[in-house]
Structure 1
Amino acid sequence: MIRIVLADDHRIVTDGLAQILSYQEDMEIAAVVEDGDRLCALLQTGIEIDVLVLDMSMPGRTGLDLIKHLNRHWPKLPILVLSMHPEAVYGMRALKLGANGYLTKDSDASQLVRAVRQVAAGRSYASEALISQLVDSARGAPNSDIQALSDRELLVLQLLASGSSVTDIAERLCLSVKTVSTHKANIQRKLGVVGTAHLVKYALSYGI
């Protein structure tokens, strides 16, 4: 039996996922958590998990930072990212940080089931497009502007696009306002845009 933990802060999403996965004879939902802190607390209990289905955008510790934290403290934990964010932006980063698979939320149920089974079996799961992106990266092909951003810069861009101010971001990430402002300046330089409005427009064009 494949024991699955769902980590997503939207109840309608976890209810739907639980219905799809529980319908499979070889799968069961071991737990559902709504944020990164609760997920870490659950893992500290020593719960047995075959696959963690992880959303990238939850309250508290989240996204790429959360994947990095999970891989550092629970390196054998099989992680399947299920995200609304496009794989072209986040997929390769998530896999490089330790995720075992990446799937977008517009995927159909059969893809989800197949991905869970592959990750539970110790294999990786990625779409053909993401595999192609990984191959191009390994060959040293030029990255897009968005791939030139560091993981922290990408998170700052995501938060700016969601309407957070520099001060809000500093508080959330436990950084100084000066540090966040420096990240913002670096993002603008790398993307070749000036001003928050243009940054938001750029981010939205990538589905961030």
Structure 2
Amino acid sequence: MRILLADDHRLLRQGLKQILAEEFPEAEFAETGTTRETLERVRQQAWDVVLLDIFMPGRNGLEVLDEIRQSDKPSPVLVISSAPEEQMARRVLKAGASGYLNKQAAVEHLIQAVKKIATGGRYVSDAMAERLAAEVGRTGGLPHERLSGREFQVMQMIVSGKSLKEIAAELSLSVKTISTFHTRIWEKLGVKNDIELVRYAIEHRLEENSSA
């Protein structure tokens, strides 16, 4: 089994490796700390499981997930994050992930998730599975679920207090492009200004600091 650990926190990668090596002693591990390194490794070869921190510095994590899915050597991805499961699970599953696991999950859940995904399955917690099952047949959804990966990222940065100019510089995009995202976010969420945007984000636990 080949497992790629993609997280910008070295101590976390080492902890994950130690846990998984005990359960899968024959596994081959590799580590990456940036989105660029991660994409380079998945382009080089297929992995049985990629454990991906969706909020690594650099490119938007959902875009990275999409690139992994569309690569010549697609690998199943288990997204790991400290963001609340109800906030991110649906989004990453729709983007092509094979599972979602909160970083605070118990060790046995981590092992269960890796085993299931490595054999072609999907993984979410039992509680999340019940929520998803209850939603089958329903129409619509929450407004923020309509945001693209980049729009979601820009929304979080606006809510954190960054200006459009600061966001543009950080994402290496033009201010005009960020302004367009800003307008789309307002339209999709049905808000009229950034005060309402912040209120919406807090109500739905979408703030950037809840996703570290």
TM-score bucket (shorter structure): 0.7 to 0.9
> Structure 1 regions of 5+ residues with no counterpart?
none
- The Cα of 1:126 is off from its aligned counterpart by 1.3
Give the whole-Å Cα distance in 2 for the aligned partners of 1:150 and 1:135: 24
Could you tell me how far apart the structure 1 residues matched to 2:150 and 2:77 are? 20
TM-score of the superposition, structure 1-length normalised? 0.85
Question: Is 1:19 matched up with 2:18?
Answer: yes
Task: Name structure 2 gaps, 5 residues minimum.
Answer: none
Write the mapping of 1:37-116 to structure 2, written as runs, cut at 5 A. Answer: 37-46=36-45, 49-74=47-72, 76-116=74-114
Higher relative contact order (CA 8 A, sep 6+): 2
Q: Which of 51-60 and 89-98 deviates more?
A: 89-98
Structure 1 CA distance for aligned equivalents of residues 74 and 39 of structure 2? 14
Tell me, in whole angstroms, the C-alpha distance in 2 between the residues paired with 1:109 and 1:188.
40
* Letter matched to residue 91 of structure 1: A
Shift of 1:197: 5.0
SS of equivalent to 2:23? coil
The letter of the residue matching 1:89 is Q
The reply on whether 1:147 has 2:175 as its aligned counterpart is: no
Deviation for aligned residue 1:140 = 3.2
Match of 1:119 in 2: 117
Contact 2:79 2:97 in 1 (8 A): yes
Aligned-pair identity in percent equals 37
Q: Take 1:25 and 1:183, find their aligned partners in 2: how far apart are those partners?
A: 44
Counterpart of 2:18 in structure 1: which amino acid?
Answer: Q
3-state DSSP class of the match of 1:20? Answer: helix
Specify whether residues 51 and 139 from structure 1 end up closer, same or farther in structure 2 by C-alpha distance, changes over 3 A only: same
Show the counterpart of 1:158.
Answer: 156
Deviations 1:26-76 (A, max 9, x none): 453511100110111222333x52111000111212311110111111463
Q: Does 1:33 align with 2:32?
A: yes
Contact between 2:43 and 2:73, CA under 8 Å: does it hold in 1?
A: no
Q: TM-score, normalising length from structure 2?
A: 0.84
Deviation at 1:163, TM superposition (A): 4.1
User: Match for residue 10 of structure 1?
Assistant: 9
Q: Which moved more, 1:124-133 or 1:89-98?
A: 124-133
